[in-house]
Chains A and B, each alone.
Chain A
């Protein structure tokens, strides 16, 4: 991904304080970049943050405070009692485990999230998604007959089919070979870029942040430790990697 065009208003605004188990998630930030990579050690609260954004976790504790907006649309405002249901948030969410519906073939999985769409438009959208991830021959296959990479591509296609306004990616490419990952990322970033859909992407790959020119959000112990362009936020890490290469 090249240097991105910044929107007039932030894609996402997050102000949240919520306890998840022993972790106090305290996040306040605005995401302005089309592609933001979320870094942090295990247990830093990355997945918890994504689940809250997606509406899969509901902050019900007495001390929880939070407000989340997506392109100016309030998804959650605990003080005002606003809570938009997950499927109405228009957020795509792909996790490390693809979680496909095992009794449906790939095409039916992709079509599942298409509501209020006529039969023809539905078929067209499914065909577009199958084509985007080069999985047309897999349309009639059930998840049990797919490889790991194929399942993950179907999961991505399923998340994009309803036309989300935000894509959340929680380490979806773990375990895939580099060439496949690069190919998927290329198609994905192009599709998102054409439609101006931002993505928040949990990854452990520092080099990827430099390659994509993304913004980086570093989390530690439930808080945001740093936020900004990769070359600034990860400058020390970059030096360490370069030093490692020289050795």
Chain B
């Protein structure tokens, strides 16, 4: 078992998930309630990692973050080193690659909050931050959990983007999935099996959490309906 790769993977997944949730809440809010004509463009860009091969995304990121582009040079001067083949580069790649797994559930969550409830909050509170934190976010908790779990597990399991942008530098860019690839290349099937089992367990547990919470999400939806309905319960 490559413990160094496991720790690196968990660190990468945690940091990526944190950044993704911080970005996905405002972006999902805008996608759900915004009226801009640019929304379809934004939606297509957010969903792109779902259909583009990870190696393609990884390739362009490698070029973009490398020293040959102005962006790469600017980021290198900002971080003090080129982002390609670094942990920071992996984080950038992971955030982009897992973006739809965070944004789409959160946008769907915001959309599921009834217009009447949102308008009631708008009528009563002049502060959008209060409406977000006291009404909307509590109502989309199941969607937030789904976004967290999917972002985390998707980052844990990514391979193509990580390989393209980070290579396999132990302790810096070698994640669990890269480690499995290296172990198989070296005919270390026993090691590869143990590492694979770790990945499999993480994924299964994450899905189990989502499905266990599904019942609570249903209860929440029923409560929303109850809040709106004028009928006696």
Q: Which of A85, A97, A113, A162 contacts B228 (CB 8 A)?
A: A97
By a CB distance below 8 angstroms, the chain B residues around A98 are 227-228, 230
- Known A97-B230, A147-B233: A102·B224 in contact at CB below 8 Å: yes
B23: interface (CB < 8 Å): no
Q: Which of A55, A86, A99, A115 contacts B117 (CB 8 A)?
A: A99
Which residues from 119 to 168 on chain A have a C-beta closer than 8 Å to any C-beta of chain B?
A: 142-149, 151-152, 158, 162
- Known A56-B123, A148-B231, A148-B232: A112·B134 in contact at CB below 8 Å: yes
By a CB distance below 8 angstroms, the chain B residues around A99 are 114, 116-117, 119-120, 227-228
Q: Are A144 and B124 in contact (CB under 8 A)?
A: no
A14: interface (CB < 8 Å): no
Q: Are B122 and A56 in contact (CB under 8 A)?
A: yes
Which residues from 134 to 158 on chain B have a C-beta closer than 8 Å to any C-beta of chain A?
A: 134-135, 138-139
Which residues from 191 to 233 on chain B have a C-beta closer than 8 Å to any C-beta of chain A?
A: 220, 222-224, 226-233
In terms of DSSP, what is the predominant structure of the interface of chain B? helix
Q: Are B124 and A113 in contact (CB under 8 A)?
A: yes
Which residues from 82 to 118 on chain B have a C-beta closer than 8 Å to any C-beta of chain A?
A: 114, 116-117
- Known A143-B226, A143-B227: A97·B116 in contact at CB below 8 Å: yes
Q: Are A112 and B125 in contact (CB under 8 A)?
A: yes
Chain A interface bracket (under 10, 10 to 19, 20 to 34, 35 or more):
35 or more
Closest B residue to A91 by beta carbon equals B123
Q: Are A87 and B229 in contact (CB under 8 A)?
A: no
Closest A residue to B134 by beta carbon equals A112
- Known A88-B126, A97-B116, A148-B232: A112·B227 in contact at CB below 8 Å: no
A125 to chain B, nearest CB (A): 13
- Known A99-B117, A103-B223, A112-B134: A152·B230 in contact at CB below 8 Å: yes
A118 to chain B, nearest CB (A): 17
B64: interface (CB < 8 Å): no
Closest B residue to A85 by beta carbon equals B126
Q: Provide the bound-state CA to CA distance between A162 and B120, in Å.
A: 13
B45 to chain A, nearest CB (A): 26
A225 to chain B, nearest CB (A): 28
By a CB distance below 8 angstroms, the chain B residues around A143 are 223, 226-227
A175: interface (CB < 8 Å): yes
B121: interface (CB < 8 Å): yes
Q: Are B125 and A113 in contact (CB under 8 A)?
A: yes
Q: Provide the bound-state CA to CA distance between A76 and B91, in Å.
A: 47
Q: Are A142 and B126 in contact (CB under 8 A)?
A: no
By a CB distance below 8 angstroms, the chain B residues around A151 are 227, 229-230
Q: Are B227 and A87 in contact (CB under 8 A)?
A: no
B2 to chain A, nearest CB (A): 43
- Known A102-B224, A142-B223: A148·B230 in contact at CB below 8 Å: yes
Q: Provide the bound-state CA to CA distance between A232 and B96, in Å.
A: 67
A168 to chain B, nearest CB (A): 9
Counting chain A CB atoms within 10 Å of each CB, the highest count among B125, B224, B230 belongs to B230
By a CB distance below 8 angstroms, the chain B residues around A92 are 123
Which residues from 87 to 117 on chain A have a C-beta closer than 8 Å to any C-beta of chain B?
A: 87-88, 91-93, 95-103, 112-113, 115
Q: Are B230 and A102 in contact (CB under 8 A)?
A: no
- Known A85-B126, A103-B139: A144·B233 in contact at CB below 8 Å: yes
- Known A56-B119, A101-B117: A112·B124 in contact at CB below 8 Å: yes
Q: Provide the bound-state CA to CA distance between A135 and B126, in Å.
A: 27
Q: A165-209 CB contact bits vs B (8 Å, 1 = yes)? A: 000000000110000000000000000000000000000000000
Closest B residue to A149 by beta carbon equals B232
26 residue pairs of the A-B complex, CB under 8 angstroms, read: A55-B123, A56-B119, A56-B123, A87-B122, A87-B123, A93-B123, A97-B116, A97-B230, A98-B228, A99-B117, A99-B119, A101-B120, A102-B224, A103-B138, A112-B125, A115-B126, A115-B127, A143-B227, A144-B222, A146-B233, A147-B232, A149-B232, A151-B227, A158-B120, A158-B124, A175-B230
Known pairs A97-B228, A115-B125; list 7 more (Cβ under 8 Å). Answer: A54-B123, A87-B125, A101-B120, A102-B224, A103-B220, A113-B123, A144-B222
